[in-house]
């Protein structure tokens, strides 16, 4: 059964070239191949996108009109909670790990990830973790209903029994993420082809290196936070209980010490994707490569020092408010550098607008809108008004949906011809883009107005003056949801067949994966390290 123990030293590598994938279902369970594992991650992510999306549909359905229409308030809270958790931990993060698996070895000329068995485990923890998390919805107490930020005491004193399954699911996701990140770092630092110096690495590789560092630094802190929740709930500790000398606000500090770097974990690889796509379709090298690297690194460092901008209304001392305000605004400098460099890359380029480029451009415009609303939120005195309103919801959906998710979809269209050897259907891809982009703005843009007018987030009912914008937003929501089902069709169609892709795929594409590998690449690529110019 354990075929690795039956190898002898010689056989293990001499049969490499001839070794294709194993047959049958067990191939996917036992695989150590970075391409297989990348595929598994991407499918998990898509499944979670549709699962989390269906909960978003419940939310938008309830909010379609004022009054309680479809679901109980308690169930509504379960939906917002599970939606957030599933999207963050199930859809966005695994998608980027999937892209890392597929792309990093091919981009740096490595035969595989550095620690292939551990790579398998990083993935195969996740289906168990998400099954556990999803199963809470069926439990007697219902799913957790305290929001994806699980603030104490809602998540400790007043939480349902199912919270313990949530806690352990988070532990498992943490183990998976840390192992995945360790693998990425070991691969990048140790597996580059000769000549691939650090400053020659594609930006996707750079951004993932820094993301992996962030993951290893903060996922254990999240594990610590849920562990304290567990002991507060069952073993009488009082970390988050003022009656014993602790403080519920302490939970928020620990959570956001994880949480703010976490939002950069979800956006830095996106920056890498955009930095690959824009030069290809502008047919110009990326403007300011090294400043991109330094900007990424500064964002990562700063991201550890701004967490309490999520806590301006918790009664922090004024000195704290001021410090966290200035530090937060400072982050927009390196972020601005990036946007500037992308725009400058396109300046006087010979641009074409194939589907990946459309998604990348959509990213630049709409992510910037999200960044600007972030700046508004970062100003402590005005955040007192915006906090916990729909304005915050609009902000983070612009950065996460039209930011992170758009980059993932862009990456799919850009690299899927390389992965499968088939071009996607260009006409359908463009329809997907325009449909999604119109819908997503109808969905989220009005939420800015709702928030500024004072509509609170995480509420199943609202006052009458918010009715029109909510209805508009819901219509956009249904349309956006449907667009992603259409995306599923495009994905399957592309895998099944399509025009044959060339090895370079795009006229302007550069990088080892386009210059040295066939489309699709062999199951084991780069058994010989490629020459790096």
Partner 1 sequence: MSSTTSNEDYYVPHGTYWPIIGSIGLSLTVIGTANFLHGTWSATPIFVGLAIIIFMMYGWFGTVVTESLAGMYNKQVDMSFRWGMGWFIFSEVMFFAAFFGALFYARAYSVPWLDGASNNDATAQYLWPDFEAAWPLLSVPLADKFSEAKHAMGAWGLPAINTLILLTSGLTVTLAHWALKRRDNVWLVYWLFATVALGFGFVFLQAYEYSHAYQDLNLRLDSGIYGSTFYMLTGFHGFHVTMGATMLLVIMIRAAKGHFTPENHFAFEAVAWYWHFVDVVWLGLFIFVYWL
Nearest-approach distance from CB 335 to ligand HEM, in angstroms:
5
Active site amino acids: 83, 112, 148, 176-177, 260, 262, 264, 275, 309-310, 335, 338, 457
Nearer to Cu ion, 260 or 284 (CB): 260
Q: Distance (Å, rounded) from C-alpha 364 to C-alpha 343? A: 9
- CA neighbours closer than 13 Å in the CB half-sphere of residue 166: 33
Among residues 90, 403, 421, 446, which is the contact residue for ligand HEM, using CB under 6 A? 403
Residue 285 · residue 202 · CB < 8 Å: no
Among residues 132, 305, 453, 479, which is the contact residue for partner 1, using CB under 8 A? 132
Nearest-approach distance from CB 512 to partner 1, in angstroms:
13
Choose from ligand HEM, partner 1, Cu ion, none: what does 257 bind? Cβ within 5-8 Å by kind. Answer: partner 1
Quickly tell me which residue has 């930095």 as its tokens: 275
Choose from partner 1, Cu ion, ligand HEM, none: what does 59 bind? Cβ within 5-8 Å by kind. Answer: none
Distance of CA 361 to the CA centre of its chain: 18
Quickly tell me which residue has 């090895």 as its tokens: 503
The β-bridge partners of 422 are 500
Q: Is 387 in the site for ligand HEM (CB under 6 A)?
A: yes
Nearest-approach distance from CB 431 to ligand HEM, in angstroms:
26
Stretch that binds ligand HEM, among 262-270, 350-358, 432-440, 494-502 (CB under 6 A): 262-270
Rg (CA), the chain: 23
Q: Is 448 in the site for ligand HEM (CB under 6 A)?
A: no
Name the token pair of 528.
Answer: 């010989």
Choose from Cu ion, partner 1, ligand HEM, none: what does 404 bind? Cβ within 5-8 Å by kind. Answer: ligand HEM
Name the token pair of 521.
Answer: 């690449």
Nearer to partner 1, 310 or 397 (CB): 310
Q: What is the size of the binding site for ligand HEM (CB under 6 A)?
A: 25
Quickly tell me which residue has 């209980």 as its tokens: 241
Choose from Cu ion, ligand HEM, partner 1, none: what does 431 bind? Cβ within 5-8 Å by kind. Answer: none
Q: Which of residues 140-159 bind partner 1 (CB under 8 A)?
A: none
Q: Is 115 in the site for partner 1 (CB under 8 A)?
A: yes
Select from 137, 322, 164 the least CA-distant residue to 235.
Answer: 164
Size of the chain, expressed as the number of residues it contains: 533
Phi, psi of 317 (to 5 degrees): -60, 150
Name the token pair of 410.
Answer: 């862009």
Among residues 34, 35, 171, 260, which is the contact residue for Cu ion, using CB under 5 A? 260
Nearer to ligand HEM, 270 or 505 (CB): 270
Q: Is 2 in the site for partner 1 (CB under 8 A)?
A: yes
Residue 408 · residue 95 · CB < 8 Å: yes
Q: Where are the alpha helices (DSSP H) in 387-466?
A: 390-399, 406-420, 426-452
Select from 78, 86, 76 the least CA-distant residue to 53.
Answer: 86
Stretch that binds ligand HEM, among 110-118, 202-210, 236-244, 395-403 (CB under 6 A): 395-403
Among residues 335, 473, 474, 494, which is the contact residue for ligand HEM, using CB under 6 A? 335
Nearer to ligand HEM, 371 or 530 (CB): 371
Q: Is 375 in the site for ligand HEM (CB under 6 A)?
A: yes
Q: Is 531 in the site for partner 1 (CB under 8 A)?
A: yes
What is residue 15's DSSP assignment?
Answer: T
Q: Which of residues 153-182 bind ligand HEM (CB under 6 A)?
A: none
Nearer to partner 1, 248 or 460 (CB): 248
Phi, psi of 180 (to 5 degrees): -60, -40
Residue 424 · residue 494 · CB < 8 Å: yes
Q: Is 377 in the site for ligand HEM (CB under 6 A)?
A: yes
State yes or no: cis peptide before 13, omega within 30 of 0.
Answer: no
């Amino acid at each position: 059964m354990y075929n690795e123990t039956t190898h002898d030293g010689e056989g293990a590598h001499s049969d490499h070239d001839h070794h294709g994938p194993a047959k049958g279902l067990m191939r996917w369970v036992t695989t150590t191949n970075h391409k297989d594992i990348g595929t598994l991650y991407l499918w998990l992510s898509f499944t979670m996108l549709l699962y989390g999306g269906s909960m978003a549909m419940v939310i938008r359905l309830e909010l379609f009109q004022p009054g309680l229409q479809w679901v109980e308030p308690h169930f509504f809270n379960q939906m917002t909670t599970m939606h957030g958790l599933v999207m963050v931990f199930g859809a966005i993060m695994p998608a980027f790990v999937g892209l890392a698996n597929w792309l990093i070895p091919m981009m740096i000329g490595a035969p595989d990830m550095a620690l292939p068995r551990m790579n398998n485990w990083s993935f195969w923890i996740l289906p168990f973790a998400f099954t556990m998390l999803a199963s809470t919805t069926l439990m007697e107490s219902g799913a957790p209903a305290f929001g994806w930020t699980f603030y104490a005491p809602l998540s400790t004193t007043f939480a349902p029994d199912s919270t313990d399954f949530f806690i352990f699911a988070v532990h498992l996701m943490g183990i998976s993420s840390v192992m995945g990140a360790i693998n990425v770092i070991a691969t990048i630092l140790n597996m580059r082809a000769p000549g691939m110096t650090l400053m020659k690495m594609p930006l996707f590789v750079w951004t993932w290196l820094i993301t992996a560092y962030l993951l290893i630094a903060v996922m254990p802190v999240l594990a610590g936070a849920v562990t304290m929740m567990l002991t507060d709930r069952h073993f009488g500790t009082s970390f988050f209980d003022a009656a014993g000398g602790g403080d519920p606000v302490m939970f928020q500090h620990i959570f956001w010490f994880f949480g703010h770097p976490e939002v950069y974990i979800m956006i830095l690889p996106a920056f890498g994707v955009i930095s690959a796509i824009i030069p290809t379709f502008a047919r110009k090298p990326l403007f300011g490569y090294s400043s991109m690297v330094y900007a990424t690194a500064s964002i990562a460092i700063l991201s550890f020092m701004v967490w309490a901008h999520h806590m301006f209304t918790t009664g922090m001392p004024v000195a704290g408010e001021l410090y966290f305000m200035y530090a937060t605004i400072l982050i927009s400098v390196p972020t601005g550098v990036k946007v500037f460099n992308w725009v400058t890359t396109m300046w006087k380029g010979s641009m074409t607008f194939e589907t990946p480029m459309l998604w990348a451009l959509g990213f630049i415009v709409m992510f910037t809108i999200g960044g600007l609303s972030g700046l508004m939120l970062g100003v402590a005195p005005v955040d007192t008004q915006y906090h916990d309103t729909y304005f915050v919801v609009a902000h983070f959906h612009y950065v996460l949906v039209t930011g992170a998710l758009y980059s993932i979809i862009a990456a799919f269209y850009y690299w899927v011809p390389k992965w499968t050897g088939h071009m996607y259907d260009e006409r359908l891809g463009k329809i997907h883009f325009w449909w999604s982009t119109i819908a997503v703005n109808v969905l989220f843009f009005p939420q800015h107005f709702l928030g500024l007018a004072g509509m609170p987030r995480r509420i199943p009912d609202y006052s009458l003056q918010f009715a029109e914008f909510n209805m508009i937003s819901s219509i956009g929501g249904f349309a956006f949801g449907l667009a992603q089902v259409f995306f599923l069709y495009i994905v399957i169609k592309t895998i099944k067949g399509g025009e044959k892709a060339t090895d370079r795929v795009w006229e302007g594409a550069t990088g080892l994966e386009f210059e040295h590998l066939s489309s699709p690449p062999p199951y084991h690529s780069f058994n010989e390290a490629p020459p790096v110019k």
